[in-house]
Structure 1
């Protein structure tokens, strides 16, 4: 009897395996490039958030909507060519659903609803914000005579102009007395020409007191602001911009299967980026400035959310501006677009320092993203909780490092304590505990995990080809991957199928299955940036690299024109293809007519070296020009070069330089070779 039962059982197992395997083959043949619904596994993962979080707790919703003065019924902003550069209209779908779709993490849906609250808000008497008109908030402080001190004038000029129009319609047209920029990320200064023109700006050679009394507009920033604002947008700017299309979901539609909010706002605007040189740098904590009756006390917080950053306290309003150090979400110690890693330990300490300096008096905290928090007890808890999360990630990662764990191991092991898991304003909408722990690892240990196998691994495409060679039957691999997809193992399916894509980008079955797996990971993600990255990769696997620059923000010459000569020379060195230029050996003197600077420059064996404050007698040529002449070399504009650059000696020097420089691809591949 047992023998017969065993035989029958074996038969059943073999039959099920046969049916399952054949159904997998059939399903593989049906793989396509369309978006999919959430699987049962994804729906189950998303439903688990209802038991984790208290969705009936509405304090954050009350704060996000408190103080609304006015808002247009529909908000969609366009540039002079009619191109949409910002849209709240695109997110109106969140108002149409009675229940949250399975294709969305319910916690992220809630954050999207909160960020869909837009308009002109009163923070407290005398302080106002325009929120939801860009990724960043436009903040206005009313001065004694009725002017404005403006904090962080958004990312795009068009958005800033629209925000100021809303202010003027409801609070009247008023003069701008000063502009304060909290830190050098472009979403905080790119719209500056929407509030002030160059000719209205104070003379930066004057003291801050003289600037204020001159009647012109001072632009106040933290120390080293300009250096970081320019270098971040120049040295690795092309790569960051391309990677940002994944982080911010630039090519995605807005919807239940596409892009949602991302913790610090809905998305980046794609209007015109502008820049004006600051006129005064804050250099130390405790520095005080009074502008038309408004006293500001500054706290320096370098190395937190940005290399140069500062908080500001307004004693007369009992209001504490926390810049981007507290934002109502877990922020990034490492941002997915690429940037220098941030110091979680310092970040926590500066928040605690702010509590020590201003916490006994403050009745409201407000910042450059999301909404304010009111009440002394509330804001102390808000700041302490935020500091504690960054401190936790920092300390726990180091604990695991010292126990011998690697970056990938730690990112899978580390989880917030239960208390912080349930706090809405420390949820992982922007940064995540997983990738922030990797940032801590990188800061202290670098890329190497001490395993010599990983010292010099093969490049991704070569490794993929060897994988496929060893795996042999890729069809069988795809069948197994599809079975794992049905079992909900989306991360593994994405990994193995992406190897197949890198080995053979034309393997459509691998592309489509990888896309389907990434899509489910996106649907499950509480982090808006993770969702965007997963779904953008899925889109490009299905339809190919879009190579579309029309949806990117429009750059302006402002930043390049305010770059130092040494930064431009450094950037030229970055552009040199050393393999192509290894036989070039040229020397030239560089004389800048507008800045009275002199350099000796030597390009040899593919390396560009320069010596400040030097010219030499025996060189191939001397190039004399204003600083803009260097930009004509980078842009390879031969007509402008001839007009702007005077050459004594070898007239082919500009040609030899430009021939040695690569042309950057702003739309390089990411999820395929």
Structure 2
């Protein structure tokens, strides 16, 4: 059982058998505006006030230090221990006081996985919303494989410097096979508001849902400093992200920005991009930002209520000129079009109202019909090649979907698709779209990127509840092999005294607390042993051969039962 649980720890599938081309592709180009945007991410520690400093440009996100009387408060902790260590070194040039508290503004990997570096081997309280641990587990333990694949594409982690100019809200997501991910579990949580006093600094933590449901803002009233997390940064916001996300309720995001406006901050220190000073400038910025989100929401709903489809809305909706030209609302992260689609889906779901989409033709049938219209498969290929030559790269890419189904193994099809993707990527100013195009182009042209995984400290594994591991098992069931099976096994953990039953009921797996009579067999071990096995740190069969794991009941039957579950 090897179901990895670390975000961004998976690969972009397996390597392709096709050898790479003999000649390298031409050097990549990119829009000048994207290069100019990189100026936001020059690496430095910026002094905001005498007691507040923010590290910019060390990774995708910022990390913030508040210096108290006898200790430091760290807000957000970078994406890896390595990135966090560099930030801590920079902070240590300013203060040698111990870290007294860590605050997570939300659950995203670039804000939590460097936390252990700031703890410096000791125990440090970690403040977060009371749903943050749930959201971390939901992503990293349930949908991790697909989110990992799509995240690596979106952030350009497999591109060189020519491909990855910047990541829109930061220089880059600094993750590699050598990275160590070590979040610390939240220890001090709250639902709505929490006032804390750490090292003589009084802060107010306020639930402010927006980019994530668990988002919080941090308010430092004595110095009038607002830390908004990811609810504002210098780019049009990701009201939807192409790596995939649960629905983001943008009306709550607008409400959170209105809450921020009411505070009258003199300093705004986002968790991405650079800080802003001056109450008048901050008030105007927060107002324009909330108005942009509100406009996209309100006009999407208005057009939706007129019967327009997501395709129609996304192609005609544009911000008013004063917002479209705003330097904090350029589409270097989210886009208006993606946002409109997500808002429509949040209200009405996947069906756009067109009955032709209720039971659309399977992709292969649609491809054959398209080829028939073009006068045959070779004619369709010729049309796609002509479209590419005439600069219609998007149409060439769409036609390549059909050609991939019709002509598997035809060397002209991946060449066409790769070229179309590269043309689109080079012209794209939005880093998320650019990276996705260019990474897919490389995958098609050169074969898929080899697998890699992050290093997982044992202490981090030990900090996660055993339920996180077991709850992930039902989604790994190979249902087609168990449609006639009704059976169950038990788990008993000798160190914690916890026990569970994992049942298969004709294609469905279910986990329940406690042991149930009639089990095929029961696995008896410690929580840490099973965590190590589940995370791939130990081999199951080798462990079974030793003294750390035993089976009560049918050994053969239990192993057969576990064989119905996929491995990660």
Go from structure 1 to structure 2 and tell me whether the alpha carbon gap of 1:112 and 1:252 turns closer, same or farther (over 3 Å shift).
same
Instruction: Work out whether 1:567 is the aligned partner of 2:460.
Output: no
Q: Which moved more, 1:601-610 or 1:153-162?
A: 601-610
> Shift of the alpha carbon at 1:321?
0.3
1:351-399 deviations in Å (ceiling 9; x for gaps): 101212x12xx11100211100110011111111111111122111111
Match of residue 549 from structure 1: 451
1:533-567 deviations in Å (ceiling 9; x for gaps): 11112222222223x134x6445556654443443
Of the candidates 317, 320, 332, which is equivalent to residue 226 of structure 2?
320
Contact 2:40–2:274 (CA under 8 A) maintained in structure 1: no
**For residues 392 and 318 of structure 1, do their structure 2 counterparts lie closer, same or farther at Cα, with a shift above 3 Å needed?**
same
Coordinate RMSD, CA, aligned: 2.3
Output aligned runs, 1:445-524, within 5 Å.
445-461=348-364, 463-468=366-371, 471-524=374-427
Structure-2 change in CA distance of 1:471 and 1:656 (3 Å): farther
List runs of 5+ in structure 2 lacking aligned partners. 1-20
Aligned twin of 1:3: none
Q: What per-residue deviation string (whole Å, max 9, x for no partner) do you get for residues 484-508 of structure 1? A: 3343322111111232123324233
After superposing the two structures, state which structure 1 stretch, 496-505 or 229-238, moved more: 496-505
When Rg is computed on C-alpha atoms for both structures, the one with the higher figure is: 1
Partner of 1:206: none
Could you list the runs of 5+ residues in structure 1 that have no partner in the other structure?
Answer: 1-30, 39-102, 202-216, 665-673
Given candidates 133, 148, 152, the residue that maps to 1:245 is 152
* Structure 2 CA distance for aligned equivalents of residues 570 and 228 of structure 1: 14
Q: How many angstroms apart in 2 are the aligned matches of 1:424 and 1:32?
A: 43
- What is the TM-score normalised by the length of structure 1? 0.76
Deviations 1:633-670 (A, max 9, x none): 67562222454333322223441233111234xxxxxx
* Residue 602 of structure 1, aligned match among 503, 517, 530: 503
Structure 1 residues 560 and 235, CA gap change in structure 2 (3 angstroms) = farther
The correspondence of residues 166-245 of structure 1 with structure 2, limited to 5 A, is: 166-168=90-92, 170-197=93-120, 200-201=122-123, 217-245=124-152
Match runs of 1:579-618 below 5 Å: 579-612=480-513, 614-618=514-518
**Where does residue 127 of structure 1 map in the other structure?**
52
Contact 2:147 2:244 in 1 (8 A): yes
Q: Which moved more, 1:597-606 or 1:325-334?
A: 597-606
Residues matched between the structures, number: 541
1:110 corresponds in structure 2 to 36
Say if 1:344 and 1:394, in contact at 8 Å, map to a contact too.
yes
* Secondary structure at 1:124 match in 2: coil
> Structure 2 length normalisation: TM-score?
0.89
Structure having the larger proportion of residues in helix = 1
Cα distance, 1:623 vs structure 2 = 3.1
Mean Cα deviation higher: 428-437 or 581-590: 581-590
Match status 1:650 vs 2:558: no
TM-aligned CA distance change 1:565 to 1:451, over 3 Å: farther
Task: Confirm or deny: 8 A CA contact 2:520 2:558 kept in the other structure.
Answer: no
Equivalent of residue 148 in structure 1, options 69, 72, 78: 72
Q: Work out the CA distance in 2 between the residues paired with 1:173 and 1:279.
A: 24
Report the Cα distance in structure 2 between the residues aligned to 1:572 and 1:549, rounded to whole angstroms.
22
Q: Distance in 2 between matches of 1:293 and 1:242?
A: 44
Q: Which residue number in structure 1 is paired with residue 166 of structure 2?
A: 261
Q: Is the 8 A contact 2:47 2:53 kept in 1?
A: yes
Change (3 A) 1:191 1:461: farther
Equivalent residues of 1:230, 1:560 under 8 A apart: no
Following the alignment from structure 2 to structure 1, what is the Cα–Cα distance between the partners of residues 461 and 276? 38
* Alignment check: 8 A CA contact 2:310 2:341 kept: yes
Cα deviations across residues 570-629 of structure 1 (Å, max 9, x unaligned)? 3111111101233443223333333333333321322111332x4333333333333335
